[in-house]
Homo-oligomer: A and B are copies of this chain.
Amino acid sequence: MSSNSVAAAIAPLPSWNEGATRDAILDFVQRVTTEGSPDYVPPSERIATFDNDGTLWCEQPNFVQGFFLLDRVKTIAAAQPELAAQQPFKAVLENDKTTLATFGKQELVTLVFATHTGMAIEEFRAIAQSWFDSAMHPRFQRLFRECVYQSQRELLEYLRSNGFKTFIVTGGGNGVVRTVAESIYGIPPEQVIGSSGKTKLEWQDGKPVLVKQPELNSFDDRAEKVVNIELHIGRRPLLAFGNSDGDLAMLQYTAAGTGARLALLLHHDDAEREYAYDRDFHLSPLREALEEVPKLNGGHIVSMKRDFKQVFP
């Protein structure tokens, strides 16, 4: 047991306020870890899956990867000035909101492929790592990678100290999230399941090099999260935590297993300390999830305002 684990065992979840949500978490963990309990689950089957954007770190005023994409467009346009005259790059570089509002999936894909592919995976990783070392959140004036929720970091550590294996299941790109997940969440790359592009093994100067291709492999959202949980983990989670309709299928699938389950939805209702957004937030709506999660076995709405004693570390 690490010193962190000892601290967690003595006073679990210190950044969570006392109340029904914290009680539900503590009760669930006690039930599945107490030998002889009807809900006991052996450690090897204690799987917990967490969405990332809006669940583990701040997703406002835009996804972290959206800011990364914007900076990448600026970087490649500096090297290839002709891009500044072409769409969709032009609108991004000029912050032309009228034109940006007309963009759909096609333009986004063009931007992602132009900025995320055509290089060795190691080169892309170094770019992402370097970006995280300096990129700041516009409102909080702290690094994006420090805009993680302290309560969630404690929950991840508390679960691990109780034998859980913690996974991220995110719509974000696995190449981006994996560069920081171990240092900020204690989650190693092999436990990060994200959206992904195809890669191809090529030979360069007599060496095998894995090159990122401009072709989508998986967009890890909604039902695809469940498909990828099966592909990568091969077991149904006992606990899942999300914050939007994109996570609802994962929460429903988790809750539909036998025995004790926990399906948590974080509701951002704290404009003062972070953001308040609801059903119709365009980046991650929660029209269905707010209604459906409370009906699930072990389903709970977590209120940031009520349940998080502390938001950021």
Task: Give the distance to chain B from A100, nearest Cβ to Cβ, in Å.
Answer: 31
Known contacts: A165-B190, A233-B190, A234-B189. The answer to whether A256 contacts B208 by CB under 8 A is: yes
**Contacting chain B: which of A61-69, A193-201, A268-276?**
A193-201
The 8 Å CB contact of A208, one of B178, B191, B226, is B226
User: Which chain B residues border A114 with CB–CB below 8 Å?
Assistant: none
Determine whether the beta carbon of B234 is less than 8 Å from that of A232.
no
User: Which chain B residues border A253 with CB–CB below 8 Å?
Assistant: 201, 208, 210
In the complex, A80→B90 CA distance in Å? Answer: 62
Known contacts: A208-B253, A210-B253, A253-B210. The answer to whether A199 contacts B230 by CB under 8 A is: yes
Residue of B nearest to A190 (CB): B233
Known contacts: A201-B223, A226-B208, A249-B208. The answer to whether A234 contacts B178 by CB under 8 A is: yes
In the complex, A34→B121 CA distance in Å? Answer: 28
User: Which chain B residues border A165 with CB–CB below 8 Å?
Assistant: 190
Task: Say yes or no: is A44 at the interface (Cβ < 8 Å to chain B).
Answer: yes
Determine whether the beta carbon of B200 is less than 8 Å from that of A217.
no
Residue of B nearest to A198 (CB): B227
Determine whether the beta carbon of A208 is less than 8 Å from that of B174.
no
Binary contact track A222-249/B, C-beta < 8 Å → 1, others 0: 0100110011111100000000000001
Task: Give the distance to chain B from A232, nearest Cβ to Cβ, in Å.
Answer: 6
In the complex, A208→B235 CA distance in Å? Answer: 14
Determine whether the beta carbon of A249 is less than 8 Å from that of B182.
no
Known contacts: A252-B208, A253-B201. The answer to whether A190 contacts B227 by CB under 8 A is: no
In the complex, A227→B196 CA distance in Å? Answer: 11
User: Which chain B residues border A192 with CB–CB below 8 Å?
Assistant: 234
User: Which chain B residues border A97 with CB–CB below 8 Å?
Assistant: none
In the complex, A208→B198 CA distance in Å? Answer: 28
Determine whether the beta carbon of B235 is less than 8 Å from that of A201.
no
In the complex, A192→B235 CA distance in Å? Answer: 12
In the complex, A199→B178 CA distance in Å? Answer: 25
In the complex, A98→B234 CA distance in Å? Answer: 38
User: Which chain B residues border A47 with CB–CB below 8 Å?
Assistant: 190
Task: Say yes or no: is A88 at the interface (Cβ < 8 Å to chain B).
Answer: no
Known contacts: A189-B233, A190-B232. The answer to whether A227 contacts B252 by CB under 8 A is: no
Residue of B nearest to A252 (CB): B208
User: Which chain B residues border A249 with CB–CB below 8 Å?
Assistant: 201, 208
Determine whether the beta carbon of A44 is less than 8 Å from that of B188.
yes
- Contacts A189-B233, A198-B227 aside, 6 further interface pairs with beta carbons under 8 A come to A44-B182, A121-B230, A196-B231, A207-B256, A208-B253, A210-B230
